[in-house]
Amino acid sequence: MSGLRPLRVKAAGPIILEGQAFLKLAVPLAIAQIAQFAVGFVDTIMMGHLSTESLAAGGLASTTFQMLLTIVSGFVMSVGVLAAEAYGADQKHRLAGLARQGLWLSLLLSLPFMALLWRMSFVLSALNQPDVVVDLAQNYFTGVSLGVLPAMGFAMLRGYLSAFSLAGVVTIIVSVGTAFNIVCNYVLGFGKLGFPRLELMGLGLGSSLSLWLMFGLFSLYILRQPELNQYRFWRGWKHPKLSILRRLMAVGAPIAMTLLLELGLFLAVGYMAGSLGAQVLAAHQIAFQVMALIFMVPIGMSQAVTARVGLWYGRGDRDGTRRAGFVAIALTAGFLLLSGVGLALYRHLAIDLFVDSADAQAAPVVMLAMNLLLVSAIAQMLDGVQRVAMSALYGLQDTRMPMILSAIAFWGIGLTSGYLLCFVAGWGVVGLWVGQYTGVAVGGAIFVWRFGWLTRSL
């Protein structure tokens, strides 16, 4: 045994160092994700204090906006993927062009996204949502649509910054933006300080103002940060450069499509829940907001693993690439195991943030939300592992195959089994959640296997 001890210490060294490097990048990114998601989370809490209908409609609108924003942002995530690879390969002359064209891409994608939000009432009506939900949700969509452009620009710059392993400032900026959003929501939503009571429209406007503030602060930091200032990507971008845009789209389109398949599953489940009634939808929104808030941590970890894997991949180091991916997966699974236990034990406290559990009229909503959060507590580790494993594949610039595999796992298995459990087996909204996590589990297993297989052959 004594002869094996030095080998064990030697093998553990790189793993520990990789874990430290990963956490140094992942922790601020995760905190920033939590703070950024808190924009919609706080919106939803305030909606619950307007009315049950506002909670159902506004929660659905807020969730839809956040998911659509994440999907469209998948296109500009390619900036971070390619920047990490260029930085690792010591091809720093490419960095300015990537960021410059990333801003152009953000602008070009924002225009149709805003147009869609202005006409979301037609989409909601086509999805058989109640009329009161459609009318109230459109008010929120109209207000928040003004924040699309800064949100896209912020997402692009955050990926660009992670390539340099600089993420601490993101936490500060997003925290400031979140605090500003809470104030704006309170003033505009509830009509304080002489402003009219705009309710859901005001909550959407408050979120837009906070997104502009965060984008402005982030841009100012990059302009003044010495390590980033030398690249001066803000100069010479009077016109798009098609060759770089095509490369960004080639990498980013499969990422966006994969996110569409994954998040589209959750959106579809949300709209199916809405077809079961306002109370079921309200319970779904409560559980989803709590689950999604916790899930911001693995999303931050997924951004970090793309940068870490991309860095080692750019250096041509197979062992470093494999280590970066599997260390991130292990740390993510450990965090979500602990958070799942906490959620199972204290989920009633989370529900009390949205509704008064002592109110007899809220009893059906509370009971359903308790059941849904229990499902999430058990299954969220599967979701976190699949997200981080998928992002590790992005670090390898493997984006097309995860898109195909996501279609099979999330829609072929997840949505189909959710529909059958809900509407055929009679499990209701709980069946929808069990089904969606079944698809997530299959996707996670496939992505982990594929990362191991690809990195063995590097």
Per the structure block, which two tokens stand in for 111? 């225009």
Name the phi and psi angles at 419, rounded to 5: -60, -45
Would you call 423 exposed, middle or buried from its count of C-beta atoms within 10 A (0-12, 13-18, 19+)?
A: middle
Per the structure block, which two tokens stand in for 22? 């990963």
Residue 9: per-residue pLDDT: 39
Q: Say if CB 278 and CB 86 are below 8 A apart.
A: no
Q: What pLDDT digit, counting tens, does each position of 396-452 carry?
A: 988 888 889 988 998 899 989 999 998 998 898 889 999 989 998 999 999 999 999
Q: Is the dihedral of CA 414, 415, 416, 419 positive or negative?
A: positive
Q: Tell me which residue range forms the domain holding 415.
A: 5-456
Percent of the chain with pLDDT over 70: 89
Residue 10: per-residue pLDDT: 46
Give the chain's mean pLDDT. 83
Pairwise pLDDT comparison (395 vs 42), residue with the higher score: 395
Binning pLDDT at 50, 70 and 90, where does residue 166 land? low
Binning pLDDT at 50, 70 and 90, where does residue 93 land? low
Q: How far apart are CA 441 and CA 451, in angstroms?
A: 16
**pLDDT above 90 for 348:** no
For 317, left (φ over 0), alpha (ψ -120 to 50), or beta?
beta
Q: What pLDDT digit, counting tens, does each position of 30-76 carry?
A: 877 777 677 667 777 777 667 767 777 777 788 788 878 888 888 88
For 129, left (φ over 0), alpha (ψ -120 to 50), or beta?
beta
Total domain count, the chain: 1
Binning pLDDT at 50, 70 and 90, where does residue 111 land? very high
Half-sphere exposure of 391 (CA within 13 A, CB side): 28
**pLDDT above 90 for 246:** no
Pairwise pLDDT comparison (285 vs 118), residue with the higher score: 118
Torsion of CA 101, 105, 107, 110, to 10 degrees: -160
Q: Is the dihedral of CA 327, 12, 32, 38 positive or negative?
A: positive
> Which residues are CB-neighbours of 101 under 8 A, at least 6 positions away?
237, 240, 241, 244, 245, 248
